[in-house]
Chain A
């Protein structure tokens, strides 16, 4: 019945009057890098702590490899955690920190020494055995925290905002290392984060959470390109919304709506009662108003607008355009020699493909 590696069923958790988790269902596959993504207060960390056993759910059950571990105390679970602020033991050196779990299992000191040596090699800190936490940088402590959890060879590794305390450059570097380590070991990782970019870069699958519920589970591309709800669409990245529309079904499983005197098309999706369209800024094609009909451009949705703002951000230009009803649309144009760049006040044509219209209910 439980073919899933880790299966959460109807997990509920309440603190006083406040419901933190409203019956969450989640299934994670073996060897997957799974992300719980959401803003602070959405219940993602609570869910992680319930998997680790540090919190007990009010109701619901947890299955790991087919056996019910709902009532297994934390210290007996085959699950380890990398804590948000590392939670390294300040009175122990790196070796003692990493070997803590192994010593609790009463392994022989020879095995412990070998395992700690191997894991330090893996996280790129060979020879750091004798250092104390306060003598290390954030990135190094992060690696030790990772090693301390991984050395126990857990069935599932839980990571609570593992890269949250690092600066941008280091975070990028740790992201790829984390990815490599996960691939090399094949361990199932469940990672909590509020950073959608991180989740998309690293995640095999993502569960987007919102006030105690899982809004959508899927591959990064699905979540980003085909969000089920307005919330997910908005949370995953910048998006232009055209609101208060009425749709009618037309040919080829498409929906049409009229807006500012033109027809806008979108593909029929599973969204209930759509009343708005979302378009990602990088999906919009920009053309000068005097020659809108570029033969290569097969986009079926077209609007004309005026450029009101242009912001340069290194890898792209962010261009804000105003439609005739005052709605503004943001367009992202990658920095490229051949690309058309308008001037402030120019009249432009915006166009995008039918498949790039995201239907949502607001």
Chain B
């Protein structure tokens, strides 16, 4: 417990103190670090991070939901195989996997070579070191975190419910919106949080695939700590991100609690 709380406390203290000219810490109280965080220059990075994390989450949801659904429809043995395939990438080092995307996406990379050979494009695409390549990297890394909770919530569902809805006159669209969506909502929400939170704080992926242009908040914090030696400012930035994530989790727990406590009230 101490090991968990102590670093957080240190960061909390750092975020309220000043930095000396050579990066040394001056212990006098200030809010300047927080003010600086919302300076347009940094706010832009924060906003970009939220935007990229949001888009990555949406792409994961749109691709992950059908994938999870497809998996749940397979035979038991095939389900196991697909689940294993989903998890296998985690056996390899994250850094190595991200580097390999550079080889795929770069100008003379695998993707461009293939597309050129097939004749779909005439000029190689400049995907690497753009927002797109960061998004590809993030979606690739975090898709399983979206698929697994959704898969679990679909598996938990009683298939008879679809038959019942069909029997009561619901067409395919109604069966999806009235039965599938509400019942998989917990899975979708936890999947989205599991993707959004690490995407927001990601720094290796944007560092390797985003180049200098696509700076995300994770990179900014990293720079403050390692290059700029501005630990107080870095601490303030990380606490802002943390506050943001906490707020999100709070909304989530409140929402899920509402969902559960509703029945209890009417029981009275």
Contact = CB atoms under 8 A, between A and B. Distances in A.
Given A85-B158, A89-B161, A89-B179, A54 B266 contact: no
A85 B169 contact: no
B167 A93 contact: no
A81 B266 contact: no
A83 B163 contact: yes
Interface size class of A (residues with CB under 8 A): 20 to 34
A134 B170 contact: no
Contact of B163 (A54, A130, A131, A152): A54
A74 B166 contact: yes
Contact of B167 (A75, A131, A132): A75
B26 interface: no
Contact of A52 (B158, B167, B179): B167
A132 B266 contact: yes
Contacts of A101: 168-169
Given A83-B160, A152-B169, A134 B263 contact: yes
Given A83-B160, A83-B163, A152 B168 contact: yes
B182 A91 contact: yes
B164 interface: yes
Interface in B151-197: 158, 160-161, 163-171, 174, 178-179, 182-183
B158 A75 contact: no
Nearest to A129: B266
Given A87-B158, A89-B179, A104 B163 contact: no
A85 B159 CA distance: 11
Interface residues of B, number: 21
Contact of B174 (A85, A87, A88, A104): A104
B123 interface: no
Contacts of B28: none
A130 B265 CA distance: 10
Contacts of B158: 85, 87
A135 B263 contact: yes
A134 B161 CA distance: 15
A131 B266 contact: yes
B160 A87 contact: yes
A230 interface: no
A168 interface: no
A100 interface: yes
A119 B1 CA distance: 57
Nearest to A130: B266
Nearest to B267: A135
Contact of B164 (A83, A93, A131, A152): A83
- Which of B163, B164, B179, B263 has most chain A Cβ within 10 Å? B164
Contacts of B169: 75-76, 101, 104-105, 152
A254 B216 CA distance: 98
Interface in A187-227: none
B263 to A, nearest CB: 4
A80 interface: yes
Contacts of A85: 158, 160
Contacts of B171: 75
Contacts of A135: 263, 266-267
Interface string B245-268: 000000000000000001100110
B170 to A, nearest CB: 5
Contacts of A76: 169
- Which of A53, A90, A149 has most chain B Cβ within 10 Å? A90
B92 to A, nearest CB: 39
A13 interface: no
B199 to A, nearest CB: 29
B263 A100 contact: no
B168 A100 contact: yes
A148 interface: yes
B266 A93 contact: yes
Interface in B114-173: 158, 160-161, 163-171
Interface in A47-85: 52-54, 74-76, 79-81, 83-85
Nearest to B259: A91
A90 B183 contact: yes
A161 to B, nearest CB: 12
Nearest to B175: A75
- Which of A81, A83, A91, A134 has most chain B Cβ within 10 Å? A91
B85 to A, nearest CB: 27
Contacts of B266: 93, 130-132, 135
- Which of B160, B182, B183 has most chain A Cβ within 10 Å? B160
Given A83-B160, A87-B160, A104-B174, A54 B166 contact: yes
Contacts of B262: 132
Given A75-B167, A80-B167, 18 more contacts: A54-B166, A54-B167, A74-B163, A75-B166, A75-B170, A76-B169, A81-B163, A85-B158, A85-B160, A87-B158, A89-B164, A91-B182, A91-B183, A100-B170, A105-B169, A131-B266, A132-B266, A135-B266
30 contacts: A52-B167, A54-B163, A74-B167, A75-B168, A75-B170, A76-B169, A80-B168, A81-B164, A83-B160, A83-B163, A83-B164, A84-B160, A85-B158, A85-B160, A87-B158, A87-B163, A89-B164, A89-B165, A89-B179, A90-B183, A104-B170, A104-B174, A105-B169, A131-B263, A131-B266, A134-B263, A135-B266, A135-B267, A149-B167, A152-B169
Interface of A: 52-54, 74-76, 79-81, 83-85, 87-91, 93, 100-101, 104-105, 130-132, 134-135, 148-149, 152
Going nearest first, the 5 A-B pairs with the smallest beta carbon separation are: A101-B168, A104-B169, A87-B160, A87-B164, A130-B266
